Amino acid sequence: MTNASRERVTLVQAEPAPSDPCALPAHELAAGIAQGTITAREAVEAHIARIERVNGALNAVVAKRYDDARAEANVIDQRRARGEALPPLAGVPMTVKECLDLAGTVSTFGIPSRAAARATRDDPYVARLRAAGAIVVAKTNVAQLLIFTETDNPLYGRTNNPWNVERSSGGSSGGEGAIVAAGGAALGLGTDIGGSVRIPAAFCGIASLRPTAGRCPDLGRGSVPFGQQAVASQVGPIARSVDDLALALTAINGGHGLDHQAVVPLGDHRDIDVKGLRVAVLADDGVMTPSPAIQRGLRAAADMLKAAGAQIVPCALPPCAEAMRIWLACITADRGAGMRATSRGGKLDARAALMLRLSGMPPALRMMVARLLTAIGQKGLGGNMRLFADGTAAGYWRAVEDQAAYRAAFASVLDGVAGGPVDLVLMPAYGVPAVRHGASANMPVAGSYSLLAPVLGYPAGIVPVTRVAAGEDLGRGKSSDLVQKTASEADIGSAGLPVAVQLMGRPWRDDVVLAAMRAIEQAARTRPDYPATPKV
C-alpha cells in the first residue's frame, strides 16, 4: 500500500454512537453521572475499553491505572446512591501527561534512568482535578525532556496521530492529544512552555488552553530548569469541547499555593458577550507562511467571529520573529546544563540530543556554523542557530529586558488601535498541519505562532475549524532549504487532517479567550468539514 493510499484509508470518519460514553463531552458525562443516567463505573469501563482498542495503534498511554480507577468509580456511585452531593467532575475519566506527578506512578520525562522512581503524592493540579471528582485512568506519553514538538522518547517510543499514524500527534503533550481525540479520555491535563498543549490539540483536532502566565504555573523539575521563570511553563487542559476546558480550568485555577502570589479570579466564559469584541488577525508571522488550508481556516474563523458580532480590526503587530528570538534565548540561557543534568545516565532521543548539542556549542563556533549554513542555502537552519543563548548571566538579563520591552510594545499596539483596544488576536495554531514523524529535527517549530503567548504571558487557546481539503495538500514547491522542504513535506498528502486556529487574549482574560473559542466551535460544528472523531 502506498503512503497516499494509506492516508486515504486512515482518514475515514467513524462517529461514535450517541449512547457511547466515550462520545460525550466531559460536562455532559458529569451531568449524566450526577443524574444517574449512567454510572461512573460504566463511564470508566467504556474509556478503558476504548484505550485498549486504540492504544496499540497510537502508543499514547504509557501507564495504566485501571484497577484504582474502577475502585474510585465505585465510590462515586455509592455516594450518589446515598444521595450525597457530587463534585463537578465526579466520575469523569481523564488522563494525565506523564511528567505530572500522580501518586504511585513514575514521572520520567521520557528518560530511562528515571523509570524506577515513583511519586509519593499528586501534582497540585492533578490533586485539584481528582478533588473535583475526575478519575485518572492512565498517564500519557511525552517528548523527551518536553523540549521538542513531537512525542517520542527511548523509554516509551513514539506516539502516532489518530488521524493518520504516519503523522505526529505533536508535542510535548502528544499522548494527551492523541488519546483525548480518539475518545480514550474525556479530559486531559498537560503542560505548555512553547506550545505543548496547543500543538497536539491542533494536530489531533481537539481543543486546549494555555492559561495566563501565573494562573497555573508548572512545578515540574524534569525539563527546562524551574529557575528559568521569564518564559514559564503553565499547566493546561485538553478536551474535545471548549466548555470542558472551562470546567477543567475552574478546577485547577489559582496557582500552586507556594509562591503566595495573588491570581486574578477566573471569569465565566458564558457571561462574555462575543458581540463587540475586537479581534486582530495575524495571518502571517513573517517566519513561516501558513499552509493553504490553515490560511482558509483562519479566514473561516474570522468570518465565524464576525457572524457572532465580533469586530475584525486591522492591526500591525510588532515583529513576531522577535518573540521567537526571546523565547529561545530564555529557554537555552544555561546552554542546556539543567536538561543535561536531568538526563544524565539515560539514552537521549536524537532530537533532544541535537537541541542540547546546539545549546552547549561555544557561541563563536555556533555563529560560524550558522553563517556557513546560510551561505550554502540553509537560511532556515542558519537563522535558528543564531537564536540560541550565549550562556552568560548578562545574556539572560538582556533577554529578560528584551522580553519586557516586547511585552510593552505589544500591549501598546493593541491598546492604540483606532476605535478602541484589541481584545483578542486570531492566528494560526501552527504553520502546517500535523507533520510527518521526525520533522522536528529540521523544523523545531513552524513559525512563531506557538511562542508568542509564552513570551507575552497571554492566555491562548486552540479550537478546530476544518480539515485540509483536496488540492490544498500539494506542497510549497521545490526548495533546498531544509526548513521549507520539511514544511512542504508536511503539506503533501495532508488532505483530511484537522485544521485549527489559535486565539490569544489579554492577560487574565482567559474567559474572553474561551468565549470566542466557543463561538467558533459552535459555528464550526455545523460544517461538514469539521474534524469529527477519527477512526483509529
Positions marked catalytic: 97, 172, 196
User: Phi and psi dihedrals of 138, rounded to 5?
Assistant: -170, 165
Q: Are 295 and 283 contacting, i.e. CB atoms less than 8 angstroms apart?
A: yes
Cell of 469: 481539503
Nearest residue to 128 via CA among 310, 37, 281, 256: 256
User: Phi and psi dihedrals of 159, rounded to 5?
Assistant: -95, 140
Cell of 448: 512563531
The length of the chain in residues reads 536
Q: Are 238 and 188 contacting, i.e. CB atoms less than 8 angstroms apart?
A: yes
Q: How far is CA 36 from CA 30, 31, 90, 131, 379, in A?
A: 10, 8, 12, 20, 60
Please write down the HEC assignment for all residues of 406-425.
HHHHHHHHHHCCCCCCCCEE
Q: Name the β-bridge partners of 241.
A: none
Mention every residue, 6+ apart, whose C-beta is less than 8 A from residue 53: 536
Nearest residue to 410 via CA among 432, 425, 400, 395: 425
Q: Are 387 and 325 contacting, i.e. CB atoms less than 8 angstroms apart?
A: yes
Q: How far is CA 22 from CA 346, 421, 530, 533, in A?
A: 37, 41, 18, 10
**Other beta carbons within 10 Å of 141:** 30
CA pair distance 54, 136, nearest whole angstrom: 18
Cell of 72: 474510585
- Residues 213, 196, 520, CA angle at the centre, nearest 5°? 80
Q: Rounded to 10 degrees, what is the CA torsion of 296, 299, 303, 309?
A: 150
